[in-house]
Amino acid sequence: MTDASHPAPPAPKLALVTGASRGLGAAMAEALAAKGWHVLAVARTTGALEELDDRIKAAGGQATLAPMDVTDPEAMKYLAGSIAARWGSLQLWVHTAAHAAPLSPAAHVDGRDMAKSVATNLAATATLIGVLEPLLRAGKGTALIPDDPRGGEKFMGSYGATKAAQIALARSWQAETVKIGPRVVIATPAPMATAIRARFYPGEDRTPLAPTRAEAERLLALI
pTM, entire model = 0.92
Instruction: Name the strand (E) or helix (H) holding 187.
Output: strand 183-187
Residues 6+ apart with CB under 8 A from 35: 220
Q: Which of 37-46, 114-123, 195-204 has the lowest mean pLDDT?
A: 195-204
Domains and CATH numbers, the chain: 14-221 (3.40.50.720)
Query: Does the pLDDT at position 75 exceed 60?
Result: yes
Res 195: pLDDT:
84
Question: Could you read off the pLDDT of 136-171 as tens digits, one per residue?
Answer: 999 999 999 999 988 889 998 999 999 999 999 999
Q: How does DSSP assign 42-85, residue by residue?
A: EES-HHHHHHHHHHHHHTT-EEEEEE--TT-HHHHHHHHHHHHH
For the segment 32-59, the average pLDDT, to the nearest whole number, is: 97
Residue type, 15: A
